[in-house]
């Protein structure tokens, strides 16, 4: 599923909203998560998971093709930890898969 499909599915369940509104809603949600991470904040969505920012220290890397040494600067990377309920839902017995 891509973003436009997500928008369509939500718009289908909310006939009183324009598709453009739904698009703005999805973008507002994602934008809020991105803004929080850019500030270095954590985003916790119970039942889904939590986004956080992890710090990676500067290190000496190598160009894998040439073997050359390169300095890698310290940086921050986004990190996602799956929530408990999500984890359980992914591993719940699925009738349609089991039937195959």
Partner 1 sequence: MAERTVTRADLCEAVYQKIGLSRTESAALVELVLKEITDCLERGETVKLSSFGSFVVRKKGQRVGRNPKTGTEVPISPRRVMVFKPSAILKQRINAGLGGNAGGEAHGP
Q: Applying CB under 8 A, which residues contact partner 1?
A: 1-3, 6, 9-10, 13-14, 21-22, 24-26, 28-49, 51, 53, 55, 74-80, 82, 86-87, 89-92, 94, 97
Q: Least distance to partner 1 from the beta carbon of 74, Å?
A: 7
Q: Which residue, 61 or 82, is less far from partner 1 as judged by CB?
A: 82
Q: Are 58 and 70 in contact (CB under 8 A)?
A: no
Q: Least distance to partner 1 from the beta carbon of 12, Å?
A: 10
Burial of 33 (0-12, 13-18, 19+ CB in 10 A): middle
């Amino acid at each position: 599923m891509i973003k436009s499909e997500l928008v369509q599915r939500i718009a289908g369940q909310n006939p009183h909203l324009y598709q453009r509104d739904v698009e703005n809603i999805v973008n507002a949600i994602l934008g809020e998560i991105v803004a929080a991470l850019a500030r270095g904040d954590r985003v916790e969505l119970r039942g889904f998971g939590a986004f956080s920012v992890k710090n990676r220290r500067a290190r000496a890397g190598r160009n894998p093709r040439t073997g050359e040494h390169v300095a890698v600067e310290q940086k921050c990377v986004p990190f996602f930890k799956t929530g408990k309920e999500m984890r359980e839902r992914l591993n719940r017995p699925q009738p349609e898969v089991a039937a195959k």
